[in-house]
Structure 1
Amino acid sequence: MTPPVAPPGLETETAAPPAGPRAPHKLPFWVNQRLGLLVLVLALSTLFGILRPAFLDERLVLFPLLRDIATLTVVALAQMVALSVGHMNLAVGRMAAFGALFAGFGYDRLGLPLPLGLLLCLLAGAAIGALAGWIIARTGVSSFVVTLAMDFALMGLVSLLYSSLTENAAFTTRPSGLTELRSYSLADICAGPVCGSPAVPQMIQFTVLALAGLGFLYGCTRLGRELLLTGANPAAAELSGIPTGRRIVLAHALSGLLAALAGFMAAVGTGTFRASIGDDFMLPSFLGAVLGGTLLTGGVVSVIGALLGTSLVGVIRKGLDLLGVGLESLNIYLGCVLLLALSADRVRSVVSYRKVVRST
């Protein structure tokens, strides 16, 4: 008995045996954002060093540059933590001033040693951040609105407290160890190829601890994964049993704590605790985080990327300043950098999609 023959025009091809599993798709190495940032930082540092040899002066340029990068990296991390749950912290600068206010008060009026004043600063920042997160979680009001209102409230409160507690709107008492923390490098406390460089400030230790802590939180703990899931899909996180309200409060408390740490570092850098601390933190907080690969919509963060993004902005600022570029033009350039950063995710998505299409 012969098998049935398909009518003309309806012949079908014999099914090919299933192919083996495809190798996992990988983006080309040049699309890696952190690698690109690292290359840009090194290339621009070399370029500015050639155009202005003073750029490579360890004590006069590199030391204050690295000190500023250390402070602004913590600012970027404060914004990154809020972005991880899909929120923003527009009060990051005022929270820095609020925390620094408590540290200055502790040193000036209570005679606290340097570590206890720092602890008081961090507790104040965490408390005000937790308050903002609690309001957002309880009311459902957008983080943009709540933190913007918090920014205006803290601007008036901090100025009022400085006016009533001080004579010159600043706490000038310097506890033992503050001057060394501001002016000394790691070469003064340890030895080695890195520590031996006079360009590495002691304050960078705070930044390293913040980077290590957040890297461990988001990369190795269930709590960090819950924060990211809350930002990526709040409804799915709620259905999975994650207490999203508590995670939002936690994220904002961490953001406030890191903002206060940045305020303390900024105060140490200038030598005084004053109301204007954190006035210029807003743009760097978003630049460092977004340039580093943190999504504005939440769910994706990059701790090392925040460091590299902040370093890039710091190198651009210092290099253009040495080249004689005015403040107005510098802000234009930084705005363009932020615009390019916001477009980077779209560029990577297009490249990834085209690679997948070609491979199928």
Structure 2
Amino acid sequence: MEPRELLEALVDVVATLGELAATVAGPDGDVLLGVSPRSLQMALDTFISDLQGTLGHHGDTSLGKALAAFRANLGATWAHVTAAASAWRGSVAKLEDSWAQLAKKATELRNACRDMATRETTTAATANTRARDLQDKATRWEPSLHNLVAEVWQPLLALDKEEVASVVAAHEARMAAATSEVVAATKAKEEAVVTTSMAEGATRRGKKAEAALRLLKRLVAACDRAMVYPQELQRQLGDIEATLKGTNQASPDVPEALVAAVANAELLWKARARLATRHLVGTLEDIHLLLSSHAGDTGGPSGHAVAEQCQKAIEDIPMLLQGQ
């Protein structure tokens, strides 16, 4: 990846997080998870804090200054140069570990949200099937008592007294059965209403989880791309240290290629720090406010505003890479 692409990958993490926060913001937008914390909003709030710490990791390098002082014979020794290179590489290693932890947390959130989306979808399907079955039973069990009474009592007018008793007993048995069916049908209808409500609730929760899942997948991919930045710096520092080992330590005649490699690596390192300070850390503050906002609130940051801030950050990258 080119230096510009390395920095754009960092912005993409923040931009994706902004979209995710806008999707789940407010009391009705949260997604419940099956792991701790059960609230996706709470989990993202912690993720934002961790990302702020990672982006705000500066670890100023002194390698270029130490190398320049050594070349100019201004009191710096070769030990100062190698120590500065080692300290810088350790700082980059910490940054790489921080991004690895963020990628891991994003993956865990994606998996938890995926599990919840699957669970809610299954719950909704099961509840809908149950509701349909109950409604069908209610329809089958709901006889017309009026028709039943007419059917049984009309023949009584043509019967003699000896037959009335047996007919009445049969009628009462049928009435009892009919009443039982009516009660069962009523209960089935009531349960169907409750089950339908459960299905609708699970469907709504499933749709929210699916929307969040799509963005969490993007967040995982963005974190994986952001990992390339510290990995690229580690590669450059590895080359620099290899060159240092092959350089004549007794002579201030340091190869110009080594000086240029250090300057390029430091420029990329400082550009990241300025990108975070000028744009990304402040944008994350707005994302935090957006995440905790209530639906319908006005005056606070919006998803559109966050997207615009991220676009300005991307537009500023060429200048940052020029040391401005």
* TM-score bucket of the superposed structures, by smaller chain: under 0.3
Q: Which structure has greater helix proportion?
A: 2
Return the TM-score normalized by structure 1.
0.24
Return the TM-score normalized by structure 2.
0.26
Q: Of the two, which has the highest radius of gyration?
A: 2
